Amino acid sequence: MIRCLLVLLAALACIHANADTTVVARRGSVISAQDHAVVIARRGSLVHSSCGQYEGIGTGSTPEQARRNCCFFGQRVIVEEGCAYSPVARRWFAVIRYR
* Residues in the chain with pLDDT values less than 70: 1-29, 52
Question: pLDDT at position 9, please?
Answer: 38
Res 29: pLDDT: 57
Query: Three-state SS across the chain?
Result: CHHHHHHHHHHCCCEEEECCEEECCCCCCCCCHHHHHHHHHHHCCCCCCCCCCEEEEEEECCHHHHHHCCCCCCCCCEEEEEEEEECCCCEEEEEEEEC
pLDDT of residue 25: 45
